[in-house]
């Protein structure tokens, strides 16, 4: 079957760095998305990885290892506004998104 595993909740301090891990098992693979979702709001696109390695985009970076079925989202210089849920979603062989339940990130001052 298809499965996504992410921590349910993480806590970090303002100004620090946090890494949110995601492991996945899918029928085929066509890349992996990360989305951010603030409480009560819609998800918004953060990143897409299809090749192995690290993609950096400002304070946010996303890493992919296809052989390990593993990705992480790295958030640097944390700000209070980064408090949100982070959704990992790989694309399977049919280009269907498989969504994880998300990781709720709590930032403390």
Partner 1 sequence: IAGITQAPTSQILAAGRRMTLRCTQDMRHNAMYWYRQDLGLGLRLIHYSNTAGTTGKGEVPDGYSVSRANTDDFPLTLASAVPSQTSVYFCASSDSGGNSPLHFGNGTRLTVT
Instruction: Determine, following the binding rule CB under 8 A, whether residue 84 of this chain makes contact with partner 1.
Output: no
Task: Name the token pair of 45.
Answer: 């696109």
Tell which positions 34-53 bind partner 1, by CB under 8 A. Answer: 35, 41-45, 48, 50
Q: Does 24 bind partner 1 (CB under 8 A)?
A: no
Residues in contact with partner 1, total (CB under 8 A)?
Answer: 23
How many angstroms separate the CA atoms of 93 and 44, rounded? 23
CA–CA distance, 64 with 34 (Å, rounded to integer): 11
Please pick, from the candidates 64, 102, 103, 105, the single residue that binds partner 1 as defined by CB under 8 A: 102
Closest CA to 88 of 40, 21, 41: 21
With a CB cutoff of 8 Å and minimum separation 6, the contacts of 106 are: 9, 10, 11, 12, 83
At its nearest, how many Å lie between partner 1 and the CB of residue 67?
A: 20
Three-state DSSP class for 80? helix
Interaction between residue 96 and partner 1 (CB under 8 A)? yes
Minimum gap (Å) between residue 28 Cβ and partner 1 = 13
Phi, psi of 82 (to 5 degrees): -80, -5
Based on the shown chain and the rule CB under 8 A, indicate whether residue 95 belongs to the binding site for partner 1.
Answer: yes
> Which residues here bind partner 1, judged by CB under 8 A?
4, 30-31, 33, 35, 41-45, 48, 50, 87, 89, 91, 95-102
């Amino acid at each position: 079957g298809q499965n996504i595993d992410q921590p349910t909740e993480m806590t970090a301090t303002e100004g620090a760095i946090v890494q949110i891990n995601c492991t996945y098992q899918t029928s085929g693979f066509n890349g992996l998305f990360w989305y951010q979702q603030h409480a009560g709001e819609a998800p918004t696109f953060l990143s897409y990885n299809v090749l192995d390695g690290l993609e950096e985009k400002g304070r946010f970076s996303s890493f992919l290892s296809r052989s390990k079925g593993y990705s992480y989202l790295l958030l640097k210089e944390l700000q209070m506004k980064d408090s949100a849920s982070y959704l990992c979603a790989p694309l399977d062989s049919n280009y269907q998104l498989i969504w994880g339940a998300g990781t709720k990130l709590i930032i403390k001052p």
